[in-house]
Amino acid sequence: MARVMAGPAGPASAPASARQYDKQTTEPISFYLSSLEELLAWKSTSDDAFNISTEPLAQRQPPLNSRRPRTLVCHDMKGGYLEDRFIQGTEVCDPYVFYHWHYIDIFVYFSHHTVTIPPVVWTNAAHRNGVLMLGTFITEWTEGRKICESFLSGETEAYRAVAEQLAEIAHFYAFDGWLVNIENSLSVSAARNLPHFLQYLTAQVHKHVPGGQVVWYDSVVRSGELKWQNELNENNRVYFDACDGFFTNYNWKEEHLLRTREVADDRRIDVYVGVDVFGRGDVVSGGFDTNKSLRMIREQGLSVAIFAPGWVYEHLGPKDFLNNEDKFWARLSELLPVHSIGSLPFCTSFNLGMGKRNFDKGQENRTEPWYNLSAQEIQPIYTKQRMPHGGWLQTRCCLQDAWCGGSSLLLEGTIPSDAHHVTARLFSFQVPAPPRVFLLIIYKQASQAVTISPQFTTRRRSSVCPPSPESHSPEPTRHHPSPLLTPPPRVAQFLRGCGQHGKHGWQSRCYEVELQNCFLDELSITASRRQSDQGEMSFACRLGKIWVLDALALRSPAPTAAASPVLPIEVTHVHWHPSSAGWLSLSLNLHWTYPSSKAICFRVHYRSWACASGPVSPLLPIGEAHAPLYRVMELRVPEAHSESSSCRLEFLVEPVSEDGLQVDPAMWGKLVFVYSDPKLPSTASSDSV
């Protein structure tokens, strides 16, 4: 247990940089760089740790370098850095979220600041779902021309310094590269150096960021003139040849696509044809008709860049956003091949990273709205379908109830009178199937007239490993896992981590299936009627959590998370402010070390110990961290009774493991914080950090 003494000056009480912290609240925020000078002066500091993504890029199939056309989403909403800038989350009703990750390959966070560093909450969510995250380097108009002349018209060292800084920023904050957008005219000398800069930047990103990408936006041509081409041609091919991808402007027609395909030749999937969902300019389509543009693009075997899909939220409003969002992506889905989960174990609670309330093991533990995309978990395939002879089936997000987090997955529909069951596909896999698979499901259903059960499909192993859509692998085989009435001991541990079964209406079930020489292909949920001849039958079921586990892996020694203590907690940036009579307001940073693979997040708690002979308070929650650090903000604590007396706080950090098993409290991180007469700011001083 660490112990910190806080006297008049306090430990590590030097002010923190305002760039990494909100000026009003001192909470950690994501940020951008506004100028070339800021970019060249950038150096990492300990305060930047909040902005480093802790989520490794999940394995996905097929890999990005496969030969099928890709889908890029470019997120542009109201200038960016809205509620998503708050790294520890914030209270907001009906925020914008993106969750159809299985359709896309690359996500670009776009703004009109010179250097757009993606907010870490977005990078965490994208990586968890196997999607690359790119930032944006942009110059525009008169000021942009000045910037470009300053680093492109001179010596090689100038543009190399810019490229090296951009690559180092992507590496340090753990995102995957850059969209480069030069929307201003250039001098002859600057235009001559631009392809060299782009080529060097691409090489530096590849060197420092495994699997990194640099994508060029269709803007200036090789002469330096700002002239959008709406296609790849000989006027801009020099930039395409220098980097990983080309993002066309939006005002194209079919003839542009034909010429682009011819020029791109065997690199056609590296061309991302731009589609503005707002439908601005002379475009083929936008809004709910975006599929018309997408169909034309796919007919030529080209990739697509969907720009500003936040149109659904901005244009139609937040009131019915989730339904409208599902409608928008459903209209595109037949033209967007999904990427598949590429490894086991697999686990999700369907958390969107937001909610009107928050739940833990089915019990409500927070009644305020919240938003934190770092908490978003792997998302399913959302579907809505009508049967040929009546009946329908839909999966959608449910914010009214959850097992863990702010949402569950609602499976609802009607089984038609001539059918025994309906089946909803949830996840696509391309994973070599272990000989024996365990599947655990936590769910809640109102009616017992329908049974809920899982279904796997598999594909036979072949010379193509894993099978791809181009390999024409055999038809899948369906498997119906058998329920386990008495799960093996290690699986029983997982179920015990679920808490009291049946509490708050949630149930848990364990299944097993034996497989041989195949790949897992899909995981679906089937709703079946218990009795025949009952006519149409409506049903609804909430899915709270799903695990897919390799039985052989469970025979290995028990998880070691409980044997991994949180290493000593360090304290920095302590700030005191007066509160009410007899009370103070305390803010500080807590840092600790813990193996990243053994915790999905950390819960931070505290208790107030005796000031002189005062009582000891119960253990109280402060917040949740998705990295091994947390800023405590404006914690109300008692004032010491005199200069000679002292008060004591205890901070505790609880690792949260994916399997739901509680880590022994003896292994939590603990810090005793003792204070007596802290130095308070004068009324004339600034409250900024």
Q: What value does the mean pLDDT take over residues 420-448?
A: 93
Whether residue 687 has pLDDT greater than 60:
no
Least confident range of 139-148, 325-334, 594-603? 594-603
Residues 6+ apart with CB under 8 A from 35: 114, 147
Query: Which of 178, 188, 184, 174 is CA-nearest to residue 124?
Result: 174
Q: What is the pLDDT of residue 683?
A: 43
Query: Which of 378, 307, 317 is CA-nearest to residue 96?
Result: 317
Rounded Cα distance, 559 and 575, in Å: 39
User: Angle 624-629-635 (CA atoms, 0-180°, nearest 5)?
Assistant: 65
Q: What's the per-residue H, E or C state across 201-236? A: HHHHHHHHCCCCEEEEECCECCCCCECCCCCCCCCC
Strand 245-247 to strand 271-276: parallel, antiparallel, or no bridges (unpaired)?
Answer: parallel
Query: Which of 493, 473, 475, 595 is CA-nearest to residue 549?
Result: 493
661: number of CA atoms within 13 Å, CB side?
16
Q: Are 429 and 341 in contact (CB under 8 A)?
A: yes
In b/e form, how buried is each residue of 23-46, taking b as 16+ CB within 10 angstroms? eebbbbbbbbbeebebbeebeeee
Residues 6+ apart with CB under 8 A from 488: 551, 554
Binned at pLDDT 50, 70 and 90, residue 47 comes out as very high
681: number of CA atoms within 13 Å, CB side?
18
Whether residue 579 has pLDDT greater than 80:
yes
Binned at pLDDT 50, 70 and 90, residue 198 comes out as very high
Q: Are 594 and 567 in contact (CB under 8 A)?
A: yes
Cis bond leading into 466, ω under 30°?
A: yes
pTM > 0.75: yes
Whether residue 570 has pLDDT greater than 70:
yes
Binned at pLDDT 50, 70 and 90, residue 1 comes out as low
Cis bond leading into 345, ω under 30°?
A: yes
Q: What is the pLDDT of residue 8?
A: 47
How many Cβ atoms are within 10 Å of 323's Cβ, its own excluded?
14
For 349-380, the pLDDT digits (tens) are 999 999 999 999 899 998 999 999 999 999 99
Considering all CA atoms of the chain, what is the largest pairwise distance in Å, rounded to the nearest integer?
Answer: 83
Whether residue 252 has pLDDT greater than 70:
yes
Phi, psi of 234 (to 5 degrees): -70, -15
- Distance from the first to the final alpha carbon of the chain: 28
Residues 6+ apart with CB under 8 A from 449: 529, 530, 531, 534, 537, 539
Query: Which of 278, 305, 148 is CA-nearest to residue 213?
Result: 305
Binned at pLDDT 50, 70 and 90, residue 384 comes out as very high
Q: What value does the mean pLDDT take over residues 107-130?
A: 98
Identity (one letter) of the amino acid at 596? S
604: number of CA atoms within 13 Å, CB side?
22
DSSP 8-class letter at 386: E
Q: Which two tokens stand for residue 52?
A: 């480093």
Could you tell me how far CA 355 lies from the centroid of its own chain? Answer: 15
Q: What is the pLDDT of residue 560?
A: 43
Least confident range of 219-228, 276-285, 616-625? 616-625
DSSP 8-class letter at 662: B
Binned at pLDDT 50, 70 and 90, residue 7 comes out as low
Whether residue 463 has pLDDT greater than 90:
no
Least confident range of 299-308, 430-439, 575-584? 575-584
What residue has token string 């740790």?
A: 49
Point out which residues pair with 604 in neighbouring strands. 623, 653
Rounded Cα distance, 376 and 352, in Å: 5
CA-CA distances (angstroms) from residue 333 to 101, 128, 384, 467, 526? 12, 21, 11, 21, 22
Query: Which of 397, 400, 385, 394 is CA-nearest to residue 413?
Result: 394
Strand order in the sheet with 404-405: 363-366, 358-360, 404-405
Q: What is the pLDDT of residue 342?
A: 94
For 17-38, the pLDDT digits (tens) are 579 999 888 999 999 999 999 9
For 385-423, the pLDDT digits (tens) are 998 878 999 999 999 999 999 999 999 999 998 899 999
**What is the DSSP secondary-structure string of 593-621?**
---GGG-SEEEEEEEE--STTPPPPPPEE
Rounded Cα distance, 538 and 426, in Å: 20
Rounded Cα distance, 590 and 260, in Å: 53
Whether residue 496 has pLDDT greater than 80:
no
Q: Are 140 and 98 in contact (CB under 8 A)?
A: no
Q: What value does the mean pLDDT take over residues 573-582?
A: 87
Q: Which two tokens stand for residue 376?
A: 């978003």
Q: Are 286 and 294 in contact (CB under 8 A)?
A: no
Whether residue 465 has pLDDT greater than 50:
no
What residue has token string 């080309």?
A: 246
Q: Are 343 and 62 in contact (CB under 8 A)?
A: no
Least confident range of 97-106, 198-207, 440-449, 518-527? 440-449
Higher pLDDT, 536 or 177: 177
DSSP 8-class letter at 33: B
Q: What is the pLDDT of residue 613?
A: 63
Phi, psi of 457 (to 5 degrees): -115, 145
For 525-559, the pLDDT digits (tens) are 999 998 877 788 999 999 999 999 998 877 655 44
362: helix, strand or coil: coil
Rounded Cα distance, 135 and 109, in Å: 5
Q: Which two tokens stand for residue 62?
A: 């097929």
Average pLDDT, the chain: 90
Q: What is the pLDDT of residue 504?
A: 80
In b/e form, how buried is each residue of 655-667, taking b as 16+ CB within 10 angstroms? bbbbbbbebeeeb
Identity (one letter) of the amino acid at 662? Q
Point out which residues pair with 445 in neighbouring strands. 541
How many residues belong to the chain? 689
Q: What value does the mean pLDDT take over residues 100-128?
A: 98
Q: What is the pLDDT of residue 502?
A: 62
Q: What is the pLDDT of residue 684?
A: 36
Binned at pLDDT 50, 70 and 90, residue 454 comes out as very high
Least confident range of 1-15, 251-265, 294-308? 1-15
**What whole-number percentage of the chain has pLDDT above 90?**
77
Rounded Cα distance, 566 and 569, in Å: 8
Whether residue 79 has pLDDT greater than 60:
yes
Identity (one letter) of the amino acid at 105? D
Query: Which of 348, 343, 357 is CA-nearest to residue 381?
Result: 348
Q: Which two tokens stand for residue 585?
A: 């307001």
Rounded Cα distance, 541 and 423, in Å: 13
Q: What is the pLDDT of residue 688?
A: 32
Rounded Cα distance, 674 and 651, in Å: 11
For 136-173, the pLDDT digits (tens) are 999 999 999 999 999 999 999 999 999 999 999 999 99
Point out which residues pair with 220 in neighbouring strands. 226
Whether residue 449 has pLDDT greater than 90:
no
How many Cβ atoms are within 10 Å of 572's Cβ, its own excluded?
17
Higher pLDDT, 685 or 517: 517
Rounded Cα distance, 351 and 627, in Å: 18
Q: Which two tokens stand for residue 576?
A: 């005191």
Q: What is the pLDDT of residue 501?
A: 55
